């Protein structure tokens, strides 16, 4: 499958691309430049045919996941995301929904409304006024653009 970047918009304004701080145990951030954007490989979810596991293309087993306790979008290491209950994600009407196995709650990719300078990404309930929900667009990446995180960014 092709590699994907995720482009974000918050309240009608550009919020850059999804980036990370550390490919093993880091958090996901918005407002990143395209040259720093995370490259994702989409792995089909067997439970929901319109959902995918978002694997970091530069890693064998790093996935975009959700911390249930804090709603923070984080990296989780998994050999098999379905068995290890990594969060699957579904994009519908420009919103990105976290599908947590065994939970009926709906969480939407968001940013904090209280921390104006914070770029940390969350997946919050649509009714939680502490978060502003993001619009998400998938962008194809040419095959030759793969960059390892250990390489210096220029």
- In SS3 terms, the chain reads as CCEEEEEEEECCEEEEEEEECCCCCCEEEEEECHHHCCCEEEEECCCCCCCEEEEECCCCCEEEEECCCCCEEEEEECCCCCCCCCCEEEEECCEEEEECCCCCCCEEEEEECCCCCCCECEEECCCCCCEEEEEEEEEEECHHHCCCCCCCCC
In angstroms, the CA 28 to CA 32 distance is 10
In order of their start, the domains of the chain are 3-142 (2.80.10.50)
Lowest mean pLDDT among 2-6, 21-25, 118-122: 21-25
Assess contact for 26 and 20: CB atoms under 8 A.
Answer: yes
In angstroms, the CA 106 to CA 84 distance is 20
Say yes or no to pLDDT of 140 above 90: no
pLDDT tens for residues 84-125?
A: 999 999 999 999 999 988 676 789 999 998 887 889 999 999
Pairing outcome for strands 88-92 and 122-124: unpaired
**Model pTM?**
0.87
In angstroms, the CA 107 to CA 66 distance is 9
Can you give the pLDDT at residue 149? 40
Can you give the pLDDT at residue 63? 96
Say yes or no to pLDDT of 145 above 90: no
Q: Long-range contacts for 60-65 (Cβ within 8 Å, ≥24 apart)? A: 62/23, 62/24, 64/28, 64/40, 64/89
Can you give the pLDDT at residue 2? 67
pLDDT tens for residues 32-78?
A: 999 999 999 999 999 889 999 999 999 999 999 999 899 999 999 99
């Amino acid at each position: 499958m092709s590699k994907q970047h995720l482009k974000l918009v918050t309240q009608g304004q550009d919020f850059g691309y999804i980036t990370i701080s550390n490919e093993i145990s880091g958090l996901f951030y918005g407002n990143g430049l395209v040259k720093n954007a995370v490259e994702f490989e989409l792995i089909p979810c067997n439970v929901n045919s319109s959902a995918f596991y978002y694997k970091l293309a530069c890693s064998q087993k790093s996935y975009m996941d959700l911390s249930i306790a804090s709603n923070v979008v984080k990296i989780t290491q998994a050999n098999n995301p379905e068995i290890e209950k990594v969060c699957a994600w579904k994009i519908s009407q420009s919103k990105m929904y976290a599908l947590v196995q065994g939970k009926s709650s709906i969480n939407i990719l968001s940013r904090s409304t209280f921390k104006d300078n914070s770029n940390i990404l969350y997946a919050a309930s649509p009714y939680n006024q502490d978060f502003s929900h993001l619009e998400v667009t998938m962008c194809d990446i040419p095959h030759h653009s793969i960059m390892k995180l250990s390489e210096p960014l220029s």
